Amino acid sequence: MKWNKNPTSKINRIRSWALGLIFAAMIVMYLGVILLYMAHSKILFGIFLLLGTLAFLLSFVVYFWIGMLSMRAVTVQCPNCNHYTKMLGRADICANCNEPLTLDPSLEGKEFNEDYNNKRKSAELEKKEER
C-alpha cells in the first residue's frame, strides 16, 4: 500500500490532538488571567477559566479514549522497520517509520486511503475499483 496524505498512525494523531487541547486550555486560562489584570473583569476571567477547564477535561477524555483504542488495536510487526506497532482498523500507518499497513489482503498493493476504515466510504471505493 502507498499512502497519499497524513503520514502518521491514527493513535499518534489522536495523541497529538489531546496534547494540542492541553496547550489550548493553558493558553485560554492564561488569557483569562491577562484579562483579569487588564479589564478587571471577573466575569470574563470566570468564563475563560471555565473554557480552559472544559478543554482540560476534554483532553483527559481523549487520553482515556486513546487508552481504550490501544487495547482494541492489533500489535503487528512492521515489514519495513521491524518495529512492533499498534494499528487500528483495516488500514493504518506504522508509528515508527510511517509505512502504510493493512491486515486485509484485499487492500494489499492498493494506494493507502483513510476511507478504507469507514464502512460506507470503503464500499464506495471498492465499487469504483470494480468498474
Binding site for Zn ion (CB under 5 A): 78, 80-81, 94, 96-97, 99
Q: Work out how close the CB of 97 gets to Zn ion at its nearest, in angstroms, rounded to a whole number.
A: 3
For residue 21, give the C-alpha cell: 487541547
74 membership: H or E segment, kind and range: strand 74-77
- Cell 494489499 sits on residue: 108
Identity of the residue, 96 or 118, whose beta carbon is nearer to Zn ion in the bound complex: 96
Residue 79 CB, nearest approach to Zn ion (Å): 8
> Between residues 55 and 107, which has the closer beta carbon with respect to Zn ion?
107
Q: Give the nearest distance from C-beta 18 to Zn ion in angstroms.
A: 23
DSSP state of 108: T
Please identify, using beta-carbon distances, which residue of 7 and 46 lies nearer to Zn ion: 7
User: Cα separations (Å) of 78 from 24, 28, 37, 69, 119?
Assistant: 34, 40, 53, 19, 25
